[in-house]
């Protein structure tokens, strides 16, 4: 398999990640959405806890992609974290109950130890993911609300930047950046092939549709041998290409042939004001000699 990246860092990040978020930028292209959904479905099939998010709502343009209804406009689950100073073996039991529509967390200290002071309890939120794929964004700010809501969290997460735009700032801790590739979907397919991530018909179809659209039917200058390798990789697992549009044309009926009777001998084919009809018989004196009288007067 043609490998244009060192995929080892991405492999290590995926192995250690507990929760993964796949994101796309504002005003995403069909290629970005297809690549993100293919990766999301593959990681989910691999047993990972994964979510896929976009700052913009999906439109009918993306309805042909499998899993488009799974794309959320939120950056992932918000987990409430309750923190306090802990002394080893100081807690007897942790439980909860629901009373009068309220959730009560019960923390029971061991006998002889003081209860936890409310002044020493702090509350925070966890973004719910420790690995983030950013697909098709030149910079983190292109994620719009997905980034603006969690700027500090992005500094603590492992970010994999996957893009083909020459203006990409290579902001990721891991950068799968290839400006010569035909599409982000080609890069995702290459990643999946090299890391042996799960792929099925739906995943392959998403990749095929996105690659074909990004390359204008494989006619763009960046279409390469690797592009066709990835297409073959997807076709082998049953991926379906876009249906060709059929142009309906109205059948043209052949004109009926008109048979003409032969002209009488001596009749010109050129039209004259008194053109003889094809079936008209000449007069009886037609073949008799004619005598014309002249005059010598001037």
Per the CB < 8 A criterion, the answer to whether 226 and 188 are in contact is no
Per-residue pLDDT of the chain (298 residues; tens, 9 = 90+): 444 678 999 999 999 998 999 999 999 999 999 999 999 999 999 999 999 999 999 999 999 999 999 999 876 556 667 888 888 888 888 999 998 888 998 888 888 888 888 888 876 655 568 899 999 999 999 999 999 988 887 888 899 999 999 999 999 999 999 999 999 999 999 999 999 999 999 999 999 999 999 999 999 999 999 999 999 999 999 999 987 644 444 445 555 555 555 555 555 545 544 554 555 666 666 666 666 665 555 5
- Measured distance CA(31)–CA(212) in Å, rounded: 9
pLDDT for res 186:
98
Q: Which of 114, 163, 177, 132 is nearest to 14 (CA)?
A: 132
Domains of the chain in start order, with CATH, are 8-78+127-236 (3.90.1640.10), 80-124 (no CATH)
Contact 74, 52 (CB under 8 A): no
Q: How many CA atoms lie within 13 A of 137 on its CB side?
A: 26
Which pLDDT score, from 0 to 100, does residue 28 have?
97
**Token pair for 13:** 């990040």
CA distances from 255 to 91, 180, 258, 259, 261 (A): 98, 55, 9, 13, 19
pTM for the complete prediction?
A: 0.68
Helices assigned H by DSSP within 139-261: 145-148, 151-156, 184-195, 201-214, 225-236
């Amino acid at each position: 398999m043609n490998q244009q990246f060192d995929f080892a860092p991405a492999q290590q990040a995926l192995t250690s990640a507990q929760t993964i978020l796949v994101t796309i930028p504002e005003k995403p292209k069909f290629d970005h959405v297809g690549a993100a959904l293919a990766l999301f479905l593959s990681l989910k099939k691999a047993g990972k806890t994964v979510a896929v998010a976009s700052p913009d709502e999906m439109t009918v343009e993306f309805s042909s992609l499998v899993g488009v209804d799974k794309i959320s406009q939120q950056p992932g689950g918000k987990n409430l974290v309750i923190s306090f100073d802990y002394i080893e073996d100081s807690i007897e039991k942790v439980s909860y109950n629901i009373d009068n529509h309220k959730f009560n967390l019960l923390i029971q200290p061991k006998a002889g130890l003081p209860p936890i002071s409310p002044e020493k309890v702090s509350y925070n939120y966890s973004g719910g993911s420790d690995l983030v794929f950013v697909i098709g964004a030149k910079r983190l700010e292109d994620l719009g609300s997905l980034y603006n809501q969690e700027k500090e969290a992005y500094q603590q997460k492992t970010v994999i930047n996957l893009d083909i735009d020459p203006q990409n700032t290579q902001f990721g801790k891991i950068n799968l950046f290839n400006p010569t590739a035909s599409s982000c979907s080609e890069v995702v397919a290459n990643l999946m092939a090299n890391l042996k991530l799960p792929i099925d018909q739906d995943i392959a179809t998403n990749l095929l549709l996105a690659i074909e659209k990004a390359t204008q039917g494989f006619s763009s200058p960046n279409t390469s041998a690797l592009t066709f390798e990835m297409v073959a990789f997807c076709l082998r697992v049953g991926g379906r290409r876009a249906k060709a549009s059929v142009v309906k044309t109205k059948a043209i009926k052949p004109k009926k042939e008109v048979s003409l009777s032969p002209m009488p001998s001596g009749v010109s084919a050129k039209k004259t004001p008194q053109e003889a009809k094809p079936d008209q018989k000449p007069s009886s004196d037609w073949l008799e000699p004619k005598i014309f009288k002249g005059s010598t007067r001037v």
